[in-house]
Amino acid sequence: MILNKIIPVTLVLLLAAPVQAAGNAAAGEGKAGVCFGCHGPNGNSLNPVWPKLAGQGEGYLAKQLADFKSGVRKDPIMSGQAAALSAQDMADLAAYFSKQKISPASADKAKLTLGQNVYRGGNKDKGVAACIACHGPTGAGNPAAKYPALGSQQADYVAKSLKDFRSGARSNDPNKMMRDIAARMSDNEIEAVASYIAGLH
């Protein structure tokens, strides 16, 4: 009798769970023309305030596009770009950019020591967790958890993202993870770790 009640409830929960569309990289390339102006045809933006998309985790990219579309993540340009995208469009674009090779960058030597210390060890006195815990020793991220790849990312973009998390202007991080970390970081720490991240390969 109990089993008869459990099966329908389980079936309803499974059917209600969101399903992410499978991305098609070839289809994504055909849809990505509008992205190329800012992010480059291979996902390596030349403007330091626009992120490189090349080599980024597919799930992470699709989530960011969905967040821009829903308004959970706000940006006047990206919100408009994502407004007309379907779930399949987002999955295809994410598949395309995830397959591209990111161009290497380098760290500012003057910021290297502080940046490395924060990335690898955090700041225990202020309760800042080490970036390496979620983003890995080379900044490859954790695709299964949708934690972004950071290695070779634009330093200016990373610094802006951290400052946006700190101010609350960006709030699409799960369980306020990034907001809690960035809230405890100084401008110097943010600038240094962003520079160090740019040099990770």
What confidence tens digit (pLDDT) does each residue in 76-126 have?
999 999 999 999 999 999 999 999 999 999 999 999 999 999 999 999 999
| pLDDT above 80 (res 181) | yes
Q: Select from 100, 85, 91 the least CA-distant residue to 53.
A: 100
d(CA 7, CA 46): 53
Listed in order, the ranges of the chain carrying CATH 1.10.760.10 are 18-98, 109-198
Higher pLDDT, residue 33 or 11: 33
pTM, to two decimals: 0.88
What confidence tens digit (pLDDT) does each residue in 39-66 have?
998 999 999 999 999 999 999 999 999 9
Say whether domain 18-98 belongs to CATH 1.10.760.10: yes
Give 48's DSSP letter: T
d(CA 132, CA 88): 32
| pLDDT above 60 (res 18) | no
The predicted pLDDT at position 112 comes to: 97
d(CA 179, CA 186): 13
- How many Cα atoms occupy the beta-carbon half-sphere of 82 within 13 Å? 24
Contact residues for 71 (Cβ-Cβ < 8 A; gap 6+): 79
Task: Just give the CATH number of 109-198.
Answer: 1.10.760.10
Distance, CA of 33 to chain centre: 21
| Residue 195, both tokens | 């520079």
